[in-house]
Amino acid sequence: MSEAVHRPEDLVQAVRAVGVSDERLLQAVRATPREAFVPAGHRASAYRDVPLPIGHGQVTTQPSLSAMMIESLELSGDEHVLEIGTGFGFQTALLARLAADVVTIELWPDLLEQARRNLAQQGVRNVELLVGDGSGGVPDRAPYDAVIVSAAFPEVPAPLVGQLRSGGRLVQPIGPGGREQVVSFLRTATGLERRRTVTPAHFVRLRGQYGFPS
C-alpha cells in the first residue's frame, strides 16, 4: 500500500484543528509552500504537522504551533514585526504575508543564509534578515508593533520589552527549554502585561546575553 500524499491543504486543516480561525493566516498557510522551507531530505514530510531538523540541534517549529503563536499577535497588515529565530524561514514567510515588514534575527549564519535563499526564491521582499544574538533584539529597528520569540526562556528578556511599542504584542515560550507554556503579552504604559497562555509546547532554549549561556 503506498504512503499517503500530503499537500498544503493538510497543513491548513491541521492549523484549523488547533483552533486557529484567522482567515488571513489560514490563507497564508495555504499559499506558502512549506516544502520550499525545509531541508531537501525532509521535503516528503513538509506537509505533515511536525517539526523537522535543520541542523545545530535546531528544528523547525511545528506549523500549527507557529500559527497559534502568530494568531496571538493579532496582525492586521500594517505592523512592523520582529522575529527571534529565523530557522529556514517558513514562519518568516507567513509573517511577511500578514504584516507590513519583518525584521528577523538568527544565531546561526548558515541557517540565516538558507532562509535568505528560500525567501528570495519565493519572492518575499519585505523581510530584513540579520545574524546575531536574538535575546537582545534589534534595537536599531525598534520600536516594533509585534515580537515573536521562537525559543524558550523563563522570562521575556528586558531588551525585547524595551523595543516593543506601547500597545504592541509579544509571544514567547516561557520556561526552561523542552517544557514550557507559550504566553502572549501586551505592552502597556507600565510594562509588559501577561494576556493568556496560548498552548503548552517544547522549544529549544533561547541562547545569548539575555538568555541561556551559549
Kindly report whether the peptide bond that precedes residue 53 is cis, defined as omega within 30 degrees of 0.
no
pLDDT value of residue 52: 94
Residue 169 lies in a domain: yes
The CATH number of residue 158's host domain is 3.40.50.150
pLDDT value of residue 186: 98
Question: Per DSSP, what are the bridge partners of residue 164?
Answer: 144
Q: Domain containing 187: what range?
A: 8-201
Residue 214 lies in a domain: no
- The CA distance from 212 to 48, in Å, is 31
Low-confidence residues in the chain, pLDDT < 70: 1-6
* Of residues 143, 142, 139, 114, the one with CA closest to residue 209: 139
Residue 22 lies in a domain: yes
pLDDT value of residue 7: 87
Give residue-wise pLDDT tens across range 72-103: 999 999 999 999 999 999 999 999 999 999 99
Whether pTM exceeds 0.75: yes
Residue 145 lies in a domain: yes
Indicate the number of domains in the chain.
1
Q: Are the C-beta atoms of residues 106 and 149 closer than 8 Å to each other?
A: no
- The CA distance from 168 to 74, in Å, is 10
* Of residues 214, 135, 138, 202, the one with CA closest to residue 174: 202
pLDDT value of residue 79: 98
Block residue for cell numbers 514530510: 45
Residue 65 lies in a domain: yes
